[in-house]
Structure 1
Amino acid sequence: MEKEKIVAIANDFLINEFEVDGDEISNDAHFKNTLGLDSLDYIDLVVVIESNFGVKLGEADFKNIITFNDFYNTIENKISEKI
């Protein structure tokens, strides 16, 4: 899957399901601060990622995600590993 498609899908569910302001989403924006998710929201996020991309992110994956670009790259890498 192309990164542009990953970004579009991810931004769509972040805006629609997690009520993130689309104007706050940029490659360099701080992922965790922008989302402001609690631990239950992260569980929901894992489920939404899995249903949209067919991959599962774990706690170790989220520790390495600082920016939205890191988030997109992590999903892209997980998809590549699956192939």
Structure 2
Amino acid sequence: MDKGAIIEKINDFLIDEFEVEAEDIKPEANLKETLELDSLDFVDLVVAIEANFGVKLVGEDFVNIVTLQNFYDLIESKIS
């Protein structure tokens, strides 16, 4: 799966599952602030990533994840 497909899939489930407004989804968006994701949303996000990409994430994976771009890069690195 290429980076564009990964980004598109992540954006789609952020809109569908987390009711994030499409215009708020930008690479520089802060996951917690701009996207208003709380700790329960992060659990749901981990489940959604596993379901959509077959990748298991753990808490340590999120230590350096601040922006949506960081998140895209994390998923891309886990897939490859």
What stretches of structure 2 of length at least 5 have no aligned partner?
Answer: none
Cα deviation for residue 51 of structure 1 reads 0.4
- TM-score by structure 2 length? 0.92
Aligned to 2:60: 60
Moved over 4 A (4+): none
Distance in 1 of aligned mates of 2:36 and 2:60: 18
What stretches of structure 1 of length at least 5 have no aligned partner?
Answer: none
Cα deviation for residue 77 of structure 1 reads 0.3
- TM-score by structure 1 length? 0.89
1:32 partner SS: coil
Which structure 2 residues correspond to residues 36-47 of structure 1 after superposition, within 5 A? Answer: 36-47=36-47
> Quick check: 1:72 aligned with 2:72?
yes
Q: Which has the higher helix share?
A: 1
Q: Is residue 31–residue 37 contact of structure 2 (8 Å, CA) maintained in 1?
A: no
Q: Is residue 20–residue 34 contact of structure 1 (8 Å, CA) maintained in 2?
A: no
Percent identity among equivalent residues? 57
